[in-house]
Amino acid sequence: MSEDSASWTTPAAPAEAPGAAAGDRPDVGRMSFEQALAELEKIVQDLERGQLDLDAAIGAYERGSALKEHCEQKLKEARLRVERITLAPDGSARSEPMDPA
């Protein structure tokens, strides 16, 4: 091994790296919006620090992408459930689906 290659090392990933084995992490589809968002924020921080090795960074990116899609779907579902309360001409309250715009 040359002196240059012997001095080069890959930073170790943290014990709970986002790129860890799939069995170590909860299934994205079963996560609440808040859980998924918290994990996504941690992944972004880890990637921004740039201290993950290449394989861990790729795994983190893939996990983050799945979490982002999950969060977007949860928000879409919540938005569809939101109802707007309106007053009818007689003064009674009624609910209508929120405008999709």
pLDDT single digits (tens) 7-30: 433 333 333 444 445 567 899 999
Delimit the domains of the chain by residue range: 25-97
Is 94 a residue whose pLDDT tops 70?
yes
User: Is the dihedral angle over the CA atoms 51, 52, 54, 57 positive or is it negative?
Assistant: negative
β-strand partners of 97:
83
Pair of tokens at residue 89: 């001409």
| DSSP secondary structure code for residue 29 in this structure | G
Topology annotation, domain 25-97: Helix Hairpins (1.10.287)
d(CA 77, CA 80): 5
Who wins on pLDDT, 19 or 96?
96
- In a 13 Å sphere around the CA of 44, the CA atoms on its Cβ side amount to 10
Q: Which helix (H) or strand (E) holds 52?
A: none
Cβ partners under 8 Å of residue 64, min gap 6: 18, 40, 43, 44, 47
**Exposed / middle / buried, residue 46 (Cβ in 10 Å: 0-12, 13-18, 19+):** buried
